[in-house]
Amino acid sequence: MSEKAPEAGAAWDAGLYNAKHDFIWKYGSDVVSLLDPRAGERILDLGCGTGHLSAQIAEFGAQVVGVDRSAEMVAAARAAYPNLKFEVADARRLAYREEFDAVFSNAALHWIHEPELVFQGVWRALRPGGRFVAELGGKGNVREMQDAMDRALDELGAARPGEVQPWYFPSVSEYVTVAEKNGFEVRLITLFDRPTALADGAAGLRNWIVMFGAEYLAKAGEVKREEFLRRVEELLRPKLFRDGQWWGDYRRLRIVACK
Ligand code: BEZ
C-alpha cells in the first residue's frame, strides 16, 4: 500500500503498518477474490507493502512478484515471506515487458498523482489479454478526515485548506477515461462507501494520521503537532467516533480492466 513518494516513503514504518493497520490487507482479501488467481499464473502485486496479499495470491499457486516503492516495506515483505519475490520499484516507471497474466493492486494507487504513467506501465507489463485488478481510494474517500485536517491547519495558521494534497482519489469517469485512453477495456468499475474501523480504540485516528498523514503533520510542525492532532480528533469525534472506536470514512474504487 505504500506507493507514497519515496521522500516520505522512506519514513514508512513497516512495524507500525503491520501492527496497527492490518485492516488494509484484511479488506484486501476481497480484491484477491476479484483477481481470482489461478495456479501457474504470473501476477504482479503493485504496492505490495509488507507482502501479506502477495502471499495470499501465491497460495493459489500463482507466481507472484511484489513491488513497492518503499525499501523498508520490501525488506519487511522479504523477511516475512522469504520464498516469494519482492522488488523495490516505482509504479510510475515499471520496466516489465509482457511478463504478467495479471497486475493486482490494493490500497496503493491513491498515492500516485500520475495515473497515466501507472496505466502505461501496467499495460507494458501485461501479456495480451492480461487483466488489471485494483482497489484504491475513490472520489470522496476520507473527505471528512481531510476536511478536518485542513481546518485544523488553517486554524493554526499552518496551511490553507486544500494546500496539502497527498492523495489521488479519482471518480469513476476519470479513471475509466485514463484506462481507456491507455488501451484498456474496462470490464468492471465501482465506487462504494466502506466505513473502516481504525485499530487501537481512542488512539486510532491519531495512529492513522501518524502513519499516513505525514504531509499534514509536517505542515503543523513539531511544536503544533499535538495541538493539531487534538483539534482533528475534536472536530471528527461527533462524526467518526462510535462505540469506543474511530471509523475512517473510506470510499473505494474498484476496477477490472483488460489488455
Ligand atoms: C485509503 O486506503 O483509502 C487511504 C490510506 C491512507 C491514506 C489515505 C487513504
Cα 90 from Cα 202, distance rounded (Å): 35
Mean pLDDT by 10 residues, the chain (259 residues): 42 68 78 98 97 97 98 97 98 98 98 98 98 98 98 97 97 98 98 96 96 96 96 98 97 98
Given this model, what pLDDT does residue 14 score?
73
Given this model, what pLDDT does residue 23 score?
72
Nearest C-alpha neighbor of 258 from the set 194, 184, 206, 197: 184
C-alpha of residue 24 to centroid of ligand 1, in Å? 9
Distance set, CA 42 to CA 109, 165, 230 (Å): 20, 34, 46
Given this model, what pLDDT does residue 245 score?
96
Q: Which atom of ligand 1 is nearest to the CA of 107?
A: 2
Given this model, what pLDDT does residue 86 score?
98
Given this model, what pLDDT does residue 6 score?
38
Task: Find the residues whose C-beta lies inside 6 A of ligand 1.
Answer: 107, 110, 137, 141-142, 167, 212, 250
Given this model, what pLDDT does residue 130 score?
98
Given this model, what pLDDT does residue 4 score?
42
C-alpha cell belonging to residue 208: 492513522
Given this model, what pLDDT does residue 7 score?
42
What are the residue boundaries of the structural domains of the chain, listed by start? 2-142+166-198+249-258
Whole-model pTM above 0.85? yes
CATH 3.40.50.150 fits domain 2-142+166-198+249-258? yes
Residue whose CA lies nearest to ligand 1 atom number 4: 137
